[in-house]
């Protein structure tokens, strides 16, 4: 009749989507301002002016048959090389335009890479808490997910646990920095150590272990830090980038894959990526948004508002008494639930019209994720609800 697994995926939306839909219905019922929706990571900053200016210019000046026609499946040649030049200049890497593949965002980039890499039964390591779709994407590519928990004190990579988890079936590890849902940003030292661990394990198991670096939040870093470019630290790296958050273009679906120039069999790997894109029916990334890229490289939607929100929320919640992982990047805050069961805590929060995503959906227990790409005004108004929620638990025996 139809595929049962696909039916189940479609029938059971993610908790994040469920909360988001619940919020929309509740707002219609009690008013927009009465619901504090921290559920979804939809950029709340406008795209920088150069985006619309470039699009208007393209629409006015480029032949519309070319502008709206198919590009080559891997993406326009000049656009790919402009991206390569930008990355090489910015990060001192040696990326080739011939190993770049334009995609409809990071989600497509990851699915394409997984289909390109995995044979049935290959394992992919994901670090909990993790972006929930990773599990869906790996399993759909017939891979097996192996979950490794991050360190529980700071949500950095737990290298002991990771080292133990890598085995003969490990084909890849997915990392996500700045991280959704914790806001942790991996340092140069961390990526360098990760590279060394993977290199050692490649020698032990005598096959490549690919590092898939999912980077939709690459430029959303608030403190004095830069996320290193992984190909500089580990040869078998693949970068999955997206303009969804950096240019506030989440609905337009544009991003790219970079295969490291020194990755094992990089040319054949790139061909496998082309094959996976083809098999998945992607055809090509949206041409108008491909042609927009060269004029917008190095320009980003302002992160000042997110930083101000981060500070406001962090200070406000800390003052109330909440335990929070200090987020250095992305626009998420991971807050300890006030009872062991984060789903029950999230349900309790709903009674105060606070929509917080329970960490169970990220493969981790006991926390909620707050998405703070929202209005400053909503954060200020929500503080009273956070206080009431806290007061309801304080002194209770739920812990
Ligand atoms: N990876 C992570 C960690 C995300 O948070 C998201 C979106 O929120 C994606 C990938 C998908 O991004 P895109 O819109 O580029 O497909």
Which of 240, 242, 254, 285 has most ligand 1 atoms within 8 Å of its beta carbon, as the pocket-test mutant? 242
CA 294 to chain CA centroid, nearest Å: 23
For the CA of 330, the closest atom of ligand 1 is: 5
Percent helix / strand / coil, the chain, rounded to 5:
45, 15, 40
**Domain residue limits, the chain:** 4-48+302-394, 49-296
Closest CA to 131 of 300, 363, 298, 352: 363
Distance CA(274)–CA(287), nearest Å, equals 17
- Contact between 326 and 314 under an 8 Å Cβ cutoff? The reply is yes
Res. 259: pLDDT tops 70: yes
Both structure tokens of 25? 């219905």
Residues in contact with 224: Cβ distance below 8 Å, sequence separation at least 6, in sequence order: none
Res. 64: pLDDT tops 90: yes
Distance CA(30)–CA(218), nearest Å, equals 37
Q: Tell whether ligand 1 has an atom less than 6 A from the beta carbon of residue 177.
A: no
If you measure from the C-alpha of residue 83 to the centroid of ligand 1, how many angstroms do you get, rounded to a whole number? 20
Q: Percentage of the chain surpassing pLDDT 90?
A: 91
Q: Tell whether ligand 1 has an atom less than 6 A from the beta carbon of residue 329.
A: no
For the CA of 134, the closest atom of ligand 1 is: 1
pLDDT of residue 172: 98
Domains 4-48+302-394 and 49-296 share a fold: no
**Angle 359-361-365 (CA atoms, 0-180°, nearest 5)?**
35
Res. 19: pLDDT tops 80: yes
**Antiparallel, parallel or unpaired: β 255-259 and 237-242:** antiparallel
**Mean pLDDT of the 246-255 span:** 96
CA 114 to chain CA centroid, nearest Å: 15
- Residue pointed to by tokens 């980038």: 241
**Mean pLDDT of the 336-364 span:** 96
- Contact between 201 and 125 under an 8 Å Cβ cutoff? The reply is no
DSSP-derived 3-state class of residue 146: strand
pLDDT of residue 395: 58
pLDDT of residue 276: 98
Domain with residues 4-48+302-394, CATH architecture: Alpha-Beta Complex (3.90)
Which position has the higher pLDDT, 20 or 127?
127
pLDDT of residue 183: 97
**Antiparallel, parallel or unpaired: β 332-336 and 367-371:** antiparallel
Res. 152: pLDDT tops 60: yes
Distance CA(385)–CA(34), nearest Å, equals 10
Residues in contact with 31: Cβ distance below 8 Å, sequence separation at least 6, in sequence order: none
Res. 13: pLDDT tops 80: no
Res. 121: pLDDT tops 90: yes
Domain 49-296 class in CATH: alpha beta
Distance CA(168)–CA(154), nearest Å, equals 29
Q: Tell whether ligand 1 has an atom less than 6 A from the beta carbon of residue 180.
A: yes
- Digit-coded pLDDT (tens) for 370-394: 999 999 999 999 999 999 999 999 8
Both structure tokens of 215? 């980077």
What is the length of the chain?
399
Q: Among 1-5, 193-197, 289-293, where is mean pLDDT lowest? A: 1-5
Residue 341 preceded by cis peptide, ω within 30: no
If you measure from the C-alpha of residue 107 to the centroid of ligand 1, how many angstroms do you get, rounded to a whole number? 6
If you measure from the C-alpha of residue 241 to the centroid of ligand 1, how many angstroms do you get, rounded to a whole number? 9
Closest CA to 212 of 297, 273, 160: 273
Distance CA(139)–CA(3), nearest Å, equals 14
DSSP run (H or E) holding 11: helix 4-11
């Amino acid at each position: 009749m139809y595929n049962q697994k696909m039916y189940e995926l479609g029938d059971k939306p993610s908790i994040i989507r469920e909360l988001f839909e619940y919020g929309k219905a509740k707002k219609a019922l009690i008013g927009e301002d009465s619901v504090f929706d921290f559920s979804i990571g939809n950029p709340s900053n406008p795209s920088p002016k150069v985006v619309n200016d470039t699009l208007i210019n393209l629409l006015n000046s480029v032949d519309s048959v070319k502008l709206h026609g198919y590009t080559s499946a891997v993406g326009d040649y000049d656009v790919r090389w402009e991206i390569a030049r930008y990355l090489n200049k910015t990060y001192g890497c040696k990326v080739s335009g011939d190993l770049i593949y334009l995609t409809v965002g990071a989600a497509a980039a990851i699915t394409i890479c997984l289909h390109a890499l995995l044979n049935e039964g290959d394992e992919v390591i994901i670090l909990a808490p993790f972006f929930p779709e990773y599990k869906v994407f790996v399993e759909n590519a017939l891979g097996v997910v192996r979950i490794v928990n991050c360190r529980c004190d700071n949500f950095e990579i737990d290298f002991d646990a990771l080292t133990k988890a890598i085995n003969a079936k490990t084909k890849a590890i997915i990392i996500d920095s700045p991280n959704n849902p914790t806001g942790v940003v991996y340092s140069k030292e961390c990526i360098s150590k990760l590279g060394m661990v993977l290199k050692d394990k490649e020698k032990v198991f005598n096959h490549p272990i690919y590092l898939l670096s999912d980077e939709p939040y690459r430029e959303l870093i608030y403190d004095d830090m830069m996320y290193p470019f992984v190909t500089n630290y580990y040869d078998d790296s693949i970068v999955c980038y997206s303009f969804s958050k950096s240019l506030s273009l989440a609905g337009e679906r544009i991003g790219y894959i970079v295969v490291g120039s020194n990755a094992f069999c990089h040319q054949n790997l790139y061909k496998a990526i082309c094959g996976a894109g083809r098999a998945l029916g992607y055809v090509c990334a949206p041409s108008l948004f491909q042609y927009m890229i060269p004029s917008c490289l190095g320009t980003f939607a302002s992160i000042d508002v997110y930083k101000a929100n981060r500070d406001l929320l962090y200070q406000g919640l800390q003052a109330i008494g909440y335990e929070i992982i200090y987020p250095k990047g992305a626009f998420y805050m991971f807050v300890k639930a006030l009872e062991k069961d984060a789903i029950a805590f999230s349900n309790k929060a709903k009674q105060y019209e606070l929509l917080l995503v329970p960490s169970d959906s990220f493969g981790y227990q006991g926390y909620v994720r707050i998405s703070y790409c929202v209005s400053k005004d909503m954060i200020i108004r929500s503080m009273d609800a956070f206080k009431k929620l806290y007061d309801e638990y304080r002194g209770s025996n739920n812990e």
